[in-house]
Structure 1
Amino acid sequence: DVDLTTSGEDVDAVYVQANGSLIVSTSGSFSVSGASGRDEDLLLFTPTGLGANTSGTWSLYFDGSDVGLTDSSEDVYGVWVDANGDIYLTTAGAFAVTGVSGDGADIFVCAPGSLGSNTSCVFGPGLYWDGSANGYSGEIIDAMTIR
């Protein structure tokens, strides 16, 4: 119903905001009405109707390449947003952005200066959660909820 039709557009991360809109990552490149991008980006879906005939609008929420996520291992794999708007992220593998690097077993945080097609973030300091320091090395975090 809402344009995600190719195998590269399979959803690999989703976060439901309090207002009911969805922040979505896809496993590859995507092109939907209102936005296009790659696996390091996040889409915002604002529903106008749900169920058998889902409808709504898409926009680019987070452009990962703007903040240094450009390698194939830097596919966003997990996303969660706190009450301040800080974005907690995981990737499919090794990643490096200004101020922090890690792998798929780690969680890092973007404090956004801007979002959309001109995304900017302050990262860190350091990892929010270091998987290897917690016995989780070699794994990939593909979903999270932080309380």
Structure 2
Amino acid sequence: MKKFMILILSGVSVMALSGCGGGSDDGPVPETYFITDGLGYGVSDIIYHCDSGLSGVTNFEGAFTFDLRGDNCNFDLVTNIIVDDLFIEYDNDPNTDAGINGIYYECVANGTLSASGYTRYDPLWDVNGFIEDGSLHDGCTLFDIY
């Protein structure tokens, strides 16, 4: 009887411990940010592709979707001739400044690095930026967004 109880206890322990740890990878965790112009309005028709496989075109609100777990996303500024100053924001309300700090970006023009840095938001100094004049760049990549 003791052997039988030990055997049952061992079986229950193995099943209980097999459920611990390991975690699961259920794919991307989608999040939406907005690319806006200097007046806070969404910039539409920017084609983007992210490392996670998420891709698309920004809508009239400037919305783009990426993987919250640190996605890198490339934005094509040439195809639709983007000439606006560009900002990255949490929301699409032109009456609020919801700029995002600390996203590293690099932009290229004619195959050469044309701008790089970190997005920044400081309403006191009226700094809320990503890049000035999108027409100066062929495209930009936002790295490790989140």
What is the TM-score normalised by the length of structure 1? Answer: 0.26
Which has more radius of gyration? 2
Report which of the two has the higher share of helix.
Answer: 2
Report which of the two has the higher share of strand.
Answer: 1
